[in-house]
Amino acid sequence: MPLILNTAAASPLVGLASHHFSKFPIKPLASSRNFKPLSFPSSASPHSRLPRMSWLGKLGLGFGGRGSATEASSAIAQSPDDDVPAAGQEFAQFGAGCFWGVELVFQRVPGVTKTEVGYSQGNLHEPTYEDVCTGMTNHCEVVRLQYDPRQCKYEDLLDVFWERHDPTALNRQGNDVGTQYRSGIYFYTPEQEKAARESMERRQKVLNGKIVTEILPAKKFYRAEEYHQQYLEKGGRFGFKQSAAKGCSDPIRCYG
């Protein structure tokens, strides 16, 4: 349901906020029998993390979140992702717009054994969603996954990545606009980098627009707040669960 604003009394800036509010989970009306609202632990309530006017950060007005980072903080955030995958698994990391839908599409891939959504490539240590939404930390919404290379090739993951989003759109996917929604492949090994660049060359040949996807080394991964994890599988905004079964080809409703 769209946000209802008193446009007569609102500032001209207010209209710019509407698509940012759509990213936050909204509990459905209790009077609707068709809706099954999600319950969140008090410590992880999405409403407790709502950024107050954080959309103004997109305009450089500095409201909501910490935004700027110290040199020490930036150095940590820009360090390599030194986490270790489970035995026999390998990491892959992608940014392709809002991480809710991107995670679900990778959950469905046979051979993918774990997915997490989070923030990476920014300049602020331990960012919150509020910080990222200011548009001042340069983080990208990413999905970090673990996969079994005996069951799934990295090239297969790249194919899923290209099909999932529009890699010619700069800093946006659909109605989601901002650097956090940029397209990116973040590699862990020279072999992944090589495969990513070759894959991009092949993809460019079948697209009219120029691909703007960045291909960079994977940097420190900050796991997003728990309510973001497997968000669509758990029911999304409206409580309608979407299948994460391997091989499922059901259309994905990006916000639930």
Mean of the per-residue pLDDT values for the chain?
82
Domain presence at residue 4: no
Domain presence at residue 110: yes
Domain presence at residue 51: yes
State the catalytic residue, choosing from 98, 133, 152, 254.
98
* pLDDT at residue 254, rounded to an integer: 85
Domain presence at residue 170: yes
* pLDDT at residue 193, rounded to an integer: 98
The answer on pLDDT for 132 being more than 80 is yes
CATH code: domain of residue 38: 3.30.1060.10
- Report the sign of the C-alpha dihedral through residues 6, 12, 14, 17, in that order: positive
Does residue 152 have an active-site annotation?
A: no
Domain total of the chain = 1
Per-residue pLDDT band at 67 (split at 50, 70, 90): low
Q: What is the domain extent for residue 64?
A: 13-256
Domain presence at residue 253: yes
User: For 30-57, how does the pLDDT look when each residue is reduced to its tens digit (9 = 90+)?
Assistant: 333 333 344 334 333 333 333 333 333 4
Name the residue with higher pLDDT: 58 or 219. 219
The answer on pLDDT for 5 being more than 80 is no
Backbone angles phi, psi at 185, to 5 degrees: -115, 120
Name the residue with higher pLDDT: 34 or 93. 93
Q: Which of 10-19, 166-175, 228-237, 238-247 has the lowest mean pLDDT?
A: 10-19
Stretch 164-180: mean pLDDT, rounded? 97
Residue 7, classified by CB atoms within 10 Å of its CB into exposed (0-12), middle (13-18) or buried (19+), is exposed
User: For 98-112, how does the pLDDT look when each residue is reduced to its tens digit (9 = 90+)?
Assistant: 999 999 999 999 999
HEC-encoded secondary structure of 240-252: CCCCCCCCCCCCC
Domain presence at residue 118: yes
Domain presence at residue 5: no
Domain presence at residue 2: no
